[in-house]
Amino acid sequence: MNMEYKIEQQLRKTIRHYNIPYHAHFLTFSCFQQLSLFSRERTRRWLIEAIVNAKEKYKYALWAYVIMPEHVHLLVYPMLEKYNISLFLKTIKQSVARKAKHYLKENNPDWLNKLTVKRGPKNIFRFWQTGPGYDRNINSENELFEKIHYIHNNPVRRGIVLAPQEWKWSSASWYDGERDVILPIDDFTVSSNF
């Protein structure tokens, strides 16, 4: 058994998703080996399409997001009392990975090889870092707005832009009043359950 497989299995045992009604979810998931796989607009658009499809399929409201070159933050709220955040994440990640793999097979086999790992006799394509990513349940108004601020300031902290609204791959400009954005935010009022 290789070391990466052992680490992945341990992560699966320690990181849990809690499907608690009326909790928002602060999600973070990263590209394989922290590679900047979202440095191209094409890949970012695949992700946006996957988010839109997953939120419609599983009935989630999108409250904030940022797409960084090597990771993604989402703040989502399940609209149904019974839900499975793991299915939501799986739908997004599988869709992007499939499109990336298909694109690389056709256009850049060298990169396809860089994103392929050997697991026993199998070769496995890895667009995403192994494990379920980070998932924090949010159940207070203060924490909700702290996470929105954190998400929007990612590109500023990294020195990519000077102000959050300058990064078109986040919801910051929507919060600043712009409605013609790449990925609209679902209007919300903070639930009385917070």
Q: What is the pTM of this model?
A: 0.88
Helices (H) and strands (E) in the chain, counts: 6, 6
Whole-number pLDDT of residue 194: 54
Give tens-digit pLDDT for 55-68: 999 999 999 999 99
pLDDT class for 3, splitting at 50, 70, 90?
A: very low
Residue 107 half-sphere exposure toward CB, CA atoms < 13 A:
6
| Closest by Cα among 12, 25, 34, 18 to 54 | 25
Domains and CATH numbers, the chain: 24-175 (3.30.70.1290)
Calculate what percentage of the chain has a pLDDT beyond 70: 89
- Residue range 118-135: average pLDDT? 90
**Residue 177 above 90 pLDDT?**
yes
pLDDT class for 15, splitting at 50, 70, 90?
A: low
Whole-number pLDDT of residue 21: 85
Give tens-digit pLDDT for 20-45: 888 999 999 999 999 999 999 999 99
Asked whether 64 and 74 are in contact (CB, 8 A), the reply is yes
Residue 14 half-sphere exposure toward CB, CA atoms < 13 A:
9
pLDDT class for 2, splitting at 50, 70, 90?
A: very low
| CA dist 157 → 4, 34, 66, 68, 151 (Å) | 30, 17, 13, 11, 10
Whole-number pLDDT of residue 6: 47
Whole-number pLDDT of residue 190: 54
Whole-number pLDDT of residue 191: 52
Whole-number pLDDT of residue 133: 83
- Residue range 105-134: average pLDDT? 92
Asked whether 43 and 37 are in contact (CB, 8 A), the reply is yes
Whole-number pLDDT of residue 17: 77
